[in-house]
Structure 1
Amino acid sequence: MVGHQLLKALIIEKDMETAQTIQSILEKRGIAASIEPSAENGLRVLKGGPVAMAFAGKAEEGISPLELMRKIVIQSPMTSLILISELSEAELHDKAEGYGILGNIHPQHPAEGLDKLIDTFENIHQALSARK
């Protein structure tokens, strides 16, 4: 495990059960995570300070995870991003190509594959930190 004292994650997801499952996993890995069910408020959080990792799910405003992904990338291009969606791998590759996201987790089974995506995030973060 990497020391994440200063790292923050933001979960934009209206389904509290899904969001809290993700939050619990992140916190067990030492990453502080906040939940924001509103896309507008979530984007405001991103604008307000460094967020190392963001999760884009279904927001209260009815914005799709893909539209939210686009808004997050525009707002905070250096934030590592994971989608919370029901997209297949093929759909994800087709619709999210070029956005540089870490991957996708299913909203009904958010724990599946999340540790591997966090490992990828940690590897990227370590490599970027070593370059500074």
Structure 2
Amino acid sequence: MSIVLATTRPDELAAFSKALADKTGQDVDVASSGAAALEWVSAKSPALVVIDENLPDHKPLDLVREILMVSAMTLTAVITTMSEEDFHEAAEGYGVLMPLPANPAAQDGTELANRLSGV
């Protein structure tokens, strides 16, 4: 199992990704664009891709759709500023594991790992 964090701000998300890595026992690899994340998905079929909403080349839910087309078994989570209700409405049917706050912290990484282990 592997995990990819698609973000341009890995330093800001370090506590989140460390907690996710520690709880899952997996390395969290960083992709700095949606295109790079898609390359990871097609080459390695990671168990999870965490998508930051500020990627330079993809909107998060567009990237979720593309990931599903490449690897239907790869789960996703999205870092978003949308309200949980709005996000649920927009992401319905995409199988997104969970929305994450705009600046996810260590406890969000732990929560995501718990949800991932429950799948």
* TM-score where L is the length of structure 2: 0.86
- The separation in 2 between residues aligned to 1:80 and 1:59, in whole angstroms, is 18
Matched AA of 1:22 = F
Point out the more displaced range, 114-123 or 45-54: 114-123
Matched, 1:105 2:100: yes
Unaligned runs of 5+ residues in structure 2 are: none
Instruction: Between 71-80 and 35-44, report the one with greater CA deviation.
Output: 71-80
Quote the RMSD (CA, aligned, Å). Answer: 1.6
Aligned to 1:60: 56
Moved more, 72-81 or 112-121: 112-121
Give, in whole Å, the separation in 2 of the partners of 1:17 and 1:88. 25
- In percent, how many aligned pairs have the same letter? 21
Is 2:26 the partner of 1:31?
A: yes
Q: Secondary structure at the match of 1:16?
A: coil
Which moved further from structure 2: 36-45 or 102-111? 102-111
Q: TM-score scaled to structure 1, two decimals? A: 0.79
Number of residue pairs matched?
Answer: 117
Query: Which structure is larger by alpha-carbon Rg, 1 or 2?
Result: 1
Structure 1 unmatched runs, 5+: 1-6, 125-132
User: Would the aligned equivalents of 1:18 and 1:110 in 2 still touch at CA under 8 Å?
Assistant: no
Deviation at 1:111, TM superposition (A): 3.3
**What corresponds to 1:114 in structure 2?**
109
Contact 2:20 2:106 in 1 (8 A): no
Deviation at 1:112, TM superposition (A): 4.5
Q: Which moved more, 1:18-27 or 1:100-109?
A: 18-27
